[in-house]
Structure formats: structure tokens, C-alpha cells
Structure 1
């Protein structure tokens, strides 16, 4: 974790604050659903120090809450309290609703207390590059083919998530760290990999058409951080399978992080001489 640490060597207690980041991006927390890892999310949020926090959609799972019994216990409430604390500490929170919290889109363009709601946002990196921030469900018409096979896939996916919870419950009892069974199974599916590739292509095409330098999104529950043809594709993952977040560090690096702070992937900032919109070095 990135929370405060104590060093009692030499009889002196020293508190080290977690690193302050320019921005943090999380999505697909699916609060209210049975598959949300709310305890890990609450711990992660409590450890944060950042200038901006982007909530990139599907934060509250209104679909689940409308169709099934909502799950809202102490850990879910801790998530809400951690968000309030970040806002009180001066973090600007930008909420970009997704398809599972679509009703919140009626508030797009408003500056609510301690939060801005946007249909999409543009995040400007320290090096000047501009990235589209969007949930990603706009690309469903391109990436989804519909039909019985897709419905069967949705049903199977929720069964896998349930199995993932039981599997990791057993791992915790054995003292083992979290490992995503669901992610492992998806990576072994050629159909899933083709779907993810279509999604990446659609997101990069959208950023290119808008004259931007890349995209930050969620939606597909597959974290990723890569560069292709000069564009950035960053997917912050989710909190039902991968338990990941994306951040921009104080010196402009993009990092994909696990819930416990482990660095999974990183893209460096551009040198000042190459950064768009910034003074060039002779």
C-alpha cells in the first residue's frame, strides 16, 4: 500500500506520506454489486494524495441495484467516506459516468459540490499531451456483435466473477495475495482477446479523429497501458477483477498500479524538447 509508514529505528517514529500524484483514474468499481472489492478499493483511496481524481464510469452499479438486491455494507460506505475525505483535502474530482451509472449523465456539465460531472474530459499531461477521458461504452456498436452468443457470454462472465470471489477468499485464508482467476481465463480466450483488440482500435481511432494524443478509459475490465503509432492507450482496469488504477506521477509518468501499490506498467513522460505545447529547448 501507499499509506503512511512508520520507521521506529533508533527509537524515533517518522511518518512518510505517500507520493502526491498529478492525477489518478479509477473506473468500474461497481459499488452496490456483489462482485465489487470494496475493502481493497477503500484502502486504496485512503492511501491517495492527488491533485485530480477521475471517476471514469460504472462507479455505482445502478443496473445491479435495480435488478437484484444491492450490497451496501461497511466497506462500501468506507469508499464514499474516502472520496469525501479526498475532496476535503483539496483533490478535484471529475466524474465521467458510464453505462451502469448512465442516469448520472443528466448532470453532465454541472459543477456539483466537490465534484464536476462530465460526459467526457480532456486530461493534459505534464508534458503537454492531451488525452480523452471517457468510459468506453460509446464503442459498443463497433466492438459488440450482439445475439445469443453475447448474452451467453454475459451470463458466463458473472458466474466466473462469483467463482473468482470464492477462489480469492480461499487464497486469503492461506495467506496468499489476490490473483484474478477471471482475468486468467479471459486471457486464454481467443474471442475475448479479439474483442479487446477491437476496443483498443476503436478508442485510438476516436482519439485520432479528435486530434488528441490518446485515450484513458475503462469499461472492458482489462487494464492496459501502451503506445501505438504515437498515441497512448490507457485502460485503468476495474475493481471486480483486476483491482487496478492508473495514475500520472508528479514528474509526468503514466503508471498502472495494483490495489496494493505494485507497479504493473509504466510510460515515461516526453522529454521537454519533444513535448507539444511546451517551450522547446535549443
Structure 2
């Protein structure tokens, strides 16, 4: 597979430091996709998860090294913290290892469209005003993702090709109140920013990737790398595209199944 070069890439909600991060898929995406500018749109490092349990496997460290390597090789990288890494927000406009931290940013596409880039928790009343409820919801969400990890492991065991199915996403889109929350979130952020002199918003936070025109205002959500493994890319002509990344699975080594199962259970 050849590398694809984009003008801009946006990724968010990686949740490094959490068992939910699909670091292998993320590394595969970073390997085959380059850009002039890379936005890290919040919840890159999950300090909520790390405060409960120290979890930092080798591939999470490799992700950081890969991003830093891109910065050294000329990619402009802007890190916009989210609610799971909000302690980084105090370093607004600081530069660390060629990565610039910003609370928000304005990105102008090659077609001249201006987008506010922001994580998005600021426009979620529960996350912004009731953090304890947000953390409780995050714990329930993590349980669903843990179950989904076992489903992915079983698919590898039996040689079943990996798919984009996510139990957490399935439940999220079947529960009426959650579907309404997503709709309300989108409407709230668009109505708040509609008259701010921008053509659209690019955000993350709710783990629901989408490009949607809402009354002439473009709402763009990057998704995540814990369940859907998605990113937003800008082509050289300024058009935006939602990319879903699915890593090809290697052949199953049945001699190592017992060892893999033991390691997976030990992580829990």
C-alpha cells in the first residue's frame, strides 16, 4: 500500500493510556497517511483512565514517537486538548517537540472555507457542567468497549475478518435518548457558532464521525480510534472526506492462542 498525502488530517479521541485505544489500527493509519498539517483534536492521552490504572503499553509509546517523527519531518502539528486531557489546556500556545498546543484554532481550507477546530466538550452541558456524570457515563461506555475488545479477539482466534462493528456504537445508536443527545449536541454547537464568522466546525468528543450540512453550516466530527477508527482529511482542492480505517489482520498463530488469552485477561 502506498502512502497517501493529504493537505490536512484531523484525528481525535485516541485515548492513549486506556485499554480501549486501538493503537495498532492507529499506527497503521499513521504509517500510510501523511499530511502537511495534522490536527490532534483532543482526548489524545486519557488522563482519566491513567488516574485509575497505569496502563501504557509499547504501542502507545510508538504512537507518540510516530507523531513526533512526523513533526520533525516537517508536518505542522497542532494539539487541541479535550476533556480527558484538559490539564494540557493550561499550555495554550506553547510548543513542545515541534507540536503546538492550542485551545482552539481556525483552519482555512484550500477552497477558502474557514473552520473552527475545537474538541467540543465545551458545547456538551454534561461534560462541561457535570463532570461527575460524564465520568460515570465514561465508565459504562468503557465496559461496552471491553466487551467489544473480546469480540475482536474472538474474530482473530477463529480467523474471521475484522469489521467496523462496534457494540458500543450499536447500543449508542439504538438507545433513543443517546441518539437524541447526539442530535442535540450537533444542533447546539452549530447554533452557537453559526454567527461567529466561520463556515463550519471540526470537532470530536462524542465518538460519532460525520460530515453534515446543517442549514448551510458544515458540521464535521472526526470520530475516534477506540471504536470506529475514523479521521477527517482535506484533499489538495479543499474538499473534506471522512475516512474509516481498517487494518488488515495477520494470519492467526494458533500455537500462541493460550498465551494471547492469558495476556488479554491479565490486562483486565
| Coarse TM-score class (shorter-chain normalised) | 0.7 to 0.9
Offset of residue 261 of structure 1: 8.3
Structure 1, 137-146 or 119-128: larger mean CA deviation: 137-146
Normalization by structure 2: what TM-score? 0.85
Q: How does 1:30-69 map to 2 (within 5 A)?
A: 30-66=15-51, 68-69=52-53
Q: 1:177 maps to what in 2?
A: 162
Q: 1:268 maps to what in 2?
A: none
Question: For the residues of structure 1 that align with 2:13 and 2:94, how far apart are their CA atoms?
Answer: 22
Give the secondary structure class of the aligned counterpart of 1:53. strand
- Which of residues 242, 245, 252 is equivalent to 1:259? 245
Offset of residue 142 of structure 1: 7.0
Question: For the residues of structure 1 that align with 2:76 and 2:91, how far apart are their CA atoms?
Answer: 17
Q: Unaligned stretches of 5+ in structure 2?
A: 249-268
Aligned CA distance change for structure 1 residues 142 and 201 (closer, same or farther; 3 Å) = farther
Q: 2:4 maps to what in 1?
A: 19
Question: For the residues of structure 1 that align with 2:208 and 2:28, how far apart are their CA atoms?
Answer: 21
Q: 1:211 maps to what in 2?
A: 197
Question: For the residues of structure 2 that align with 1:90 and 1:160, how far apart are their CA atoms?
Answer: 39
Offset of residue 164 of structure 1: 1.1
Give the superposed CA RMSD. Answer: 2.2
Matched, 1:234 2:208: no
Give the secondary structure class of the aligned counterpart of 1:52. strand
- Which of residues 112, 124, 139 is equivalent to 1:128? 112
Normalization by structure 1: what TM-score? 0.81
Q: Unaligned stretches of 5+ in structure 1?
A: 6-16, 263-282
> In the comparison of the two structures, how many residue pairs are matched?
246
Offset of residue 143 of structure 1: 8.0
**Which of structures 1 and 2 has the bigger CA Rg?**
1
Q: How does 1:94-133 map to 2 (within 5 A)?
A: 94-133=78-117
Q: Which structure has greater helix proportion?
A: 2
Q: Is the 8 A contact 2:68 2:97 kept in 1?
A: no
Q: Is the 8 A contact 2:16 2:44 kept in 1?
A: yes
Q: After superposition, give the CA deviation of every residue in 1:175-205 in whole Å (9 maximum; x if it has no partner).
A: 3213212111111111111000111012212
Q: 1:272 maps to what in 2?
A: none
